[in-house]
Structure 1
Amino acid sequence: MAPPLYSAQLHPGRGLGFFALGTSLHDTLTRIKSEPVKFPKIDLKYDVKQPLAVPTIVELPANGIRFRFDGPEQRLRLIEIIDFTKNHVYVKQGGDKERDLVRPEVANEITGPSFKHIYQRFLGPTYAGEYIKQSGVYILSYPGVAFTFPMKESDYSPNKDIISLIPANEAATSMAIFSGESWAHACKTLWTEVLPSIKTHPPLAKTKDASADEVSLVKIHGGGKLQLFRKWTKNSFWIFLGETTPQQIVHELGPPDSIYYKNDQRMIIHRNRATSNNLDLPKGGDFKQDDLTDTDLSSHPASDDSSREEAIEDDDFTTSTEERFLNYFHQGFDILISTRTDPSETPPSQIGDKIVPGPTVRSGSSSRLVATKIVLHGNVPGSYPFNRHRRCRWEIAYLSPSADKGSMATSETPFSEVEESLREEWKSVYASESEAKQKQRGMVLNRGWGDSPGSSIELLGGWEDTSAGGHHRGGRKKYDGTEDSTTTLYGFPGLVFEVLKNGFVSAVTVF
């Protein structure tokens, strides 16, 4: 049985229905998965070797819609209607009068809207479009929306006006929604333009959404100091590991999406096994067993008694003495709240640097719970925990830009380059080069083997299906061979990286 026809208002230059340009890949997939009857099938396409450089595509075959997201930010840049018979698109004119893209009386007779209908009844007159010789199509462009018409090269002439070029009854084969005055203009900045806040998108602007602005970038300054920049603003705030309280975090970010308490019974197996595992881990403050463990533990969903609703309604969750992770799925990170521990050492290049501030208010008693770790998630397509969190972009601010590559170590940098810069930064803290290599070597783990008795279920994780953005659905996440479940962990002072087979960072823990 065919799904109900998806009906949505067209907002040229802004979005289609509740799908707004600029929305994250995580939020878009979360919304789609929340309505399986309306959107029964999802096709995800990405480049395995360059998942953060090549756009990610989400296609809804049953609805005739396709979404394109840029690689680095994973922001929705382009919405396409590729089958007009599987959806109902309309615009609103004065007095809230609706005009349909495909006229209802002929919807079953044609494959798309005719040129005459678009020109006369839907959007009105427009300037001449653009002929794409390689594709054999003519792009009829309006501000923020464009239509594709098939056209033979022999039929095109730059001397003809638009009325002479396209027959009145010619049906469009696709429609694109983008940000820009015309398609020709938008193509130049389609993947890099800073889009306006999604809160100004008409359907969203009418809702009472008091959520905090997204964090667009986290700068890691070393020594447990992180600077978080907000999307669409110039504002930032600091988290000082070992000092920042949960009350301060909630004040800046709002309530977490869920809370994961570290006394969960699933922790016991690993705690009992920790002393018997001969992992030969480096000693010292730069790479500890708990740091390894927490790279995965923080991404586990909240247990049934720690849902987002309880997190919001329970006024005492920031004053409880129980250790827990504050899961911010829609921000792209998790924060461990525990008893105060000293943060990692200051990077050698930052010693004596007074530019990076320290905490202005100390948290008082040493037994009081504070932020001690933060896990930044990459949401790399193809990775095992894909779509648990929104992609969080980061930058290691204390590393100098590479002389030959001219860029800092960022969330988009291949780990081999990040590793090289970190080894150079921290080489002075090791007694010898052999000691540095010993402490910086990688550990391989596989998330897809499940919670068998021979594995550390805390380390591997993946019990519940949280691919819809962290909302518990009551079913196990099954490894079907499509995810990259084998990763490698690398440790440096204050940092643990989880690296995929293609060399990109899936997550980084800062402590």
Structure 2
Amino acid sequence: MIDVGTQNLKTTSLSPTYDVVPGESVGLFQLGDNLWHVLELLRTHKTEYPKVEVSWDEESPHKSAVTIHLPYITLYFPPSPIYQLLSLIQITVPPSSSSNLELTYETQVLSSSHIPLTRARVGRLMGPTFVSKAGNKLEFPGITFQLTPSNMGDAGFGPREDIVHKLIIEATEDEELQPRLISCVIEPNTGITLGLDEDHLLRITIGQTTAQDLILDIGSPLRKFWKEDDRLSKMWGNTNTNQQSSCFWNYLQYGLDFLVDKDGIVIKIICHSNIPGTPLFQRYAKCPWTITTSSGQLDSTTPSNVFRSHFSSSQNVEEYIEQLKLTVPSPSPTPDNEINGNSVNRKKNKKRNGSPNNAMILDRLVEGGLDGVSGLGASKLIGFNGLIIEEDEKSGGICSVLIFKDNNN
């Protein structure tokens, strides 16, 4: 569990107001939004929520559901190897006398400090329905009202005065949540194919796709920068002016990075998995990447030994390791943690913790910006022909995938 700090919506924390749209949204929170987008939204509203908690299974975060806990509201992102989509919103309705929470539906007040939400009021505003067989909930398309039998019924008012204590908003059975990016199929040594919608596939080929193609097809990047420090010269060499002049294009909303050379050509691609509890969590949205093999699809939950069984090993990890580290600007490391120091294990001919020779250890904690964050571990970079995967050593999840063209093969 992590605390992402003080947050805000559209009113003060003393009197929050949410418009409820069955099967669609509650206030600013829209079903189908990804985890990255929702947390970014919370960061832009910093006065309403005194505390926001994000929870997951710490033992297997790459396979875990993620839940955001807010005052009165819980946002649920079910476990998926491909997506992190908001699929259920739960509202806990406190006793009217103890809260200023106000819920509206189609410009009418559902519940407030002086208007309790009862079974009868639900029927008046949303139309008649049948109570469940268990007698504890009312179900409408896209929304469920859970009831608490009240003392008012015992006093002769009847069950129509049963109080609603919880609302659950989710997509209707005939509707499917639509992610911003449907798919990303990786082809090592070649590139990726993006599914922008069901009828629109976009192929991005290393060495062919241009920066202008990216802008026309997926828009401008949220961030674009040249990483200028001596680590790049050590990695690329002072004579390779083409790659020295390369620029990182960050599409954080899609979980994608593109390395564009001085001629405007895409030369490398990185797909991010946004695994909770890892150093890169919440820098990028979860990219829905998969790799098709003869035995099925590989994804962020696939063990590294399965990758080894499908792809030939490569020693190019050292050559491209810094591109996995430097895609997002971060404070320069201290001299003790320079490229030949503690951040990377470069002993090629020795194994560390039983790792094969095509694997290297990456410690992102020395990059800066993670002060005070506990429980973070190192990654293991494993190189294959045209592909480098970054495996979280603690959970075994694949944090990122770098696709490049191995000109030696």
Tell me the TM-score normalized by structure 2.
Answer: 0.75
Is residue 249–residue 260 contact of structure 2 (8 Å, CA) maintained in 1? yes
Going from structure 1 to structure 2, the CA distance change for 1:42 and 1:151 (only over 3 Å counts) comes to same
Is structure 2 residue 381 aligned with structure 1 residue 489? yes
* Paired AA for residue 236 in structure 1: L
- Give runs of aligned pairs for residues 103-114 of structure 1, distance below 5 A: 103-106=112-115, 113-114=117-118
Task: State how 1:252-331 maps to structure 2 within 5 Å.
Answer: 252-262=217-227, 264=228, 267-268=229-230, 270-271=231-232, 274=234, 322-331=245-254
Q: Residue deviations 1:64-99, cap 9 Å, x none?
A: 10000122210000001024436321011xxxxx21
For 1:87, the equivalent position in structure 2 comes to 101
Partner of 2:280: 385
Q: Assess if the C-alpha contact under 8 Å between 1:216 and 1:392 holds in 2.
A: no
Report matched runs for 1:168-207 at 5 Å: 168-180=160-172, 194-196=176-178
How do 1:372-451 residues align onto structure 2 when only pairs under 5 Å count?
372-397=267-292, 399-401=293-295, 407-422=296-311, 426=312, 451=333
- Kindly indicate whether the alpha-carbon contact (under 8 Å) linking 2:271 and 2:287 is maintained by their aligned counterparts in 1: yes
Per-residue CA deviation, residues 262-312 of structure 1 (Å, 9 max, x unaligned), is: 3x2xx22x257x4xxxxxxxxxxxxxx66xxxxxxxxxxxxxxxxxxxxxx
What is the Cα deviation at residue 438 of structure 1? 7.5
Q: 1:6 deviation in Å?
A: 2.5
In structure 2, relative to structure 1, the CA distance for the partners of 1:77 and 1:119 (3 Å cut) is same
CA separation of 1:4 and 1:450: change in aligned 2, threshold 3 A = farther
Matched, 1:69 2:77: yes
Q: CA deviation at 1:217?
A: 1.6
Deviation of the 1:166 alpha carbon? 7.1
Distance 1:236 1:373 in 2: 19
Rounded to whole Å, the distance in 2 between the matches of 1:5 and 1:126 is: 30
Contact kept? 1:51, 1:71, Cα under 8 Å = no
Alignment of 1:135-174 (within 5 A): 138-150=136-148, 167-174=159-166
- Taking the aligned partners of 1:99 and 1:463, their CA distance within structure 2 comes to 53
* CA displacement at 1:463 relative to structure 2: 9.2
Count of paired positions: 348
Match of 1:24 among 34, 37, 42: 34
Q: What are the ranges of 5 or more consecutive residues in structure 1 without an aligned counterpart? A: 93-97, 107-111, 132-136, 156-163, 187-192, 198-213, 275-288, 291-320, 340-367, 402-406, 427-435, 466-475
AA aligned to 2:137 is I
TM-score, normalisation: structure 1: 0.61
SS of equivalent residue, structure 2 residue 129: coil
Distance 1:258 1:47 in 2: 31
Give, in angstroms, the shift of residue 335 of structure 1. 0.3
1:33-72 matches, within 5 Å, as: 33-60=43-70, 63-72=71-80
Runs of 4+ in structure 1 deviating by more than 4 angstroms, as ranges, are: 436-441, 445-450, 457-465
The change in CA–CA distance for 1:450 and 1:41 in structure 2 (over 3 A counts) is farther
Identity %: 23
**Which amino acid in 2 is paired with 1:410?**
D
Q: Which of 316, 333, 349 is equivalent to 2:256?
A: 333
**Distance in 1, Cα, partners of 2:232 & 2:385:** 23
> What is the CA RMSD across the aligned residues, in angstroms?
3.5
Counterparts of 2:249 and 2:118, CA distance in 1: 52
State the partner residue of 2:241.
Answer: none
Pick the aligned partner of 1:246 from 207, 211, 224. 211
Q: Which has the higher strand share?
A: 2
Task: Indicate if the aligned counterparts of 1:440 and 1:490 stay in contact, CA closer than 8 A.
Answer: yes
Give the Cα separation in 2 of the matches to 1:31 and 1:166.
43
Q: Which amino acid aligns with 2:176?
A: V
Give the whole-Å Cα distance in 2 for the aligned partners of 1:388 and 1:510.
19
Amino acid at match of 1:119: G
Counterpart position of 1:510: 403
Instruction: Report the 3-state secondary structure (helix = DSSP H, G, I; strand = E; otherwise coil) of the residue aligned with 1:454.
Output: helix
Q: Give the structure 1 partner of residue 9 of structure 2.
A: none
